[in-house]
Amino acid sequence: MSSQHSSLLVRLSKIPPEVILVLLLVIVSAKILQGERRTVTRSYDRAARNWVSGESMYLTEKGVGFLYFPQAAILYAPFSQLPQPWGQIGWRCLGVALLAVSLRRLNGVTHSGDRAIHWGIVFITVLLGSSAIRNGQSTVHMTACMVLAAVCLSREQWNQATVWLMIGLAIKPLILVMVLLAGAVIPPMRKRVGVGILAVAISPFLFQRPEYVVSQYRDCFSMLESAHNLGVEAWWAQLFGMLRNAGITIASHWQTVIRVLAALVTLGMTALTYRRLPSSRAAIWLFGFSAVYILLFNPRTEHNTYCLLGPALGLFYAEEIGSRKRILAGFGLLLLAVLTVGSYEIGKFFTPEGGHAIWLAPLCCCLFGGYLVYRWREEDRENRPLALYPNCESNNSSSARAA
């Protein structure tokens, strides 16, 4: 079985993996033209049109509808001006294009463009992200921005990394986890992150009246508070929703305490990673730790949000199958991806009465988080000389550039 799987990867490696994304986009576009109703772009379109006309974009007391900063409406505004449904298709095309570029660059910086590895990354990412692409969710665009930022960080391209992080922040607030981690643990990013956040914050004033922008910021924060409260009360595919299915209900204030403690642990692990691993690999863990934290501790995590896990899970799956030749570990990661995708369809058969089938995806995310820690320790041992002499890599790279 393992030899058959390896030979399949070799044959697939002769075909550009982006063909999967193109086929998926063609299928999704055809469904939209046929009247597909499973989409979230209507809320984006409504918010963008309200922004242009100077009307309120938010349902402040319900915590539903448009759940993003005003900048997201500005970015979607060009698509709202297109004849529908071409605006919806254009938005998805942008997300898929960004995702394709980000995955190719991720493969280039980690494995010098190895196509077999590239296939593994794209395969798992499409497996986890197809539903989000179909629905037109901005998680696809944010995921691509996070990967592109991680690639730039691995190459020490600080300005480019900042630009991608800030674009992601304008698209979806969840990326703030990675933004803050990068600013906290990477010294050259600290000022850049601060200036970038300030630039993103004032950018809406360039497009609308100041009093209107201020009112929308006020409504936005009221909406985010309502959305948080709804996330605590309702069933969502995050850590506390999983525990609730097991009969463990955690009060809202204790959830906040646990989130803060988990944030400190994530910060500590990321800081240690940048001290012990080469920057080309440390950025991958920055992305992975950020994704796991977002998925487990965002109060409003949905099944489609697990698209965010695709690039990291895909990279490690491809490495296990390919360069590390650990077929069992690779199939384990593939199984996590399959179980995450089928979280509801599979989980409903094992969900206790009165519960909701939202627990399997966060459970798989917890297991992947454990795998990340295991792989981190493994790579730390492999890079022990760099861990003992942290300046070794930078000195060597400086000497190489000088030569």
Q: What is the 3-state secondary structure (H, E, C) of 265-323?
A: HHHHHHHHHHHHCCHHHHHHHHHHHHHHHHHHHCCCCCHHHHHHHHHHHHHHHHHHHCC
Mean of the per-residue pLDDT values of the chain: 89
Question: Could you tell me which residues are beta bridge partners of residue 59?
Answer: 64
What pLDDT does residue 386 have?
45
What pLDDT does residue 396 have?
44
**How sure is the predictor about 272, in pLDDT bands with cuts at 50, 70 and 90?**
very high
Nearest alpha carbon to residue 64 among 252, 230, 233: 230
What pLDDT does residue 393 have?
45
What pLDDT does residue 389 have?
43
What is the Cα–Cα distance from 399 to 387, expressed in whole angstroms?
A: 19
**How sure is the predictor about 7, in pLDDT bands with cuts at 50, 70 and 90?**
low
Nearest alpha carbon to residue 109 among 322, 278, 280: 280
φ, ψ dihedrals at 356, nearest 5°: -130, 145
Query: Around 20, how many Cα atoms within 13 Å sit in the side-chain half-sphere?
Result: 22
What pLDDT does residue 15 have?
82
Q: Which long-range contacts (CB under 8 A, 24 or more apart) does 318-325 make?
A: 318/116, 318/117, 318/118, 318/119, 318/120, 318/121, 318/124, 319/111, 319/117, 319/120, 321/5, 321/6, 321/9, 321/120, 322/9, 322/114, 322/116, 322/117, 322/120, 323/111, 323/117
177-232 tens-digit pLDDT: 999 999 999 999 999 999 999 999 999 999 999 999 999 999 999 888 888 777 77
What percent of the chain is predicted at pLDDT more than 70?
Answer: 90
356-375 tens-digit pLDDT: 889 999 999 999 999 999 99
Instruction: Return the ∠ at Cα 161 (arms to 157 and 166), rounded to 5°.
Output: 155
Asked if residue 14 has pLDDT above 80, the reply is no
pTM recorded for the entire structure: 0.90
301-343 tens-digit pLDDT: 999 999 999 999 999 999 999 888 899 999 999 999 999 999 9
Longest dimension (CA), the chain: 68
Asked if residue 6 has pLDDT above 70, the reply is no
153-175 tens-digit pLDDT: 999 999 999 999 999 999 999 99
> Encoding tokens for residue 350?
């094992």
Asked if residue 388 has pLDDT above 60, the reply is no
34-58 tens-digit pLDDT: 887 778 899 999 999 999 999 999 8
What pLDDT does residue 224 have?
86
Which burial class, exposed, middle or buried, applies to 209 when counting CB atoms under 10 A from its CB (0-12, 13-18, 19+)? Answer: exposed
What does the pLDDT average to over 279-305?
Answer: 94
Asked if residue 400 has pLDDT above 80, the reply is no
Which burial class, exposed, middle or buried, applies to 309 when counting CB atoms under 10 A from its CB (0-12, 13-18, 19+)? Answer: buried
What is the Cα–Cα distance from 217 to 209, expressed in whole angstroms?
A: 13
Nearest alpha carbon to residue 295 among 233, 250, 240: 240
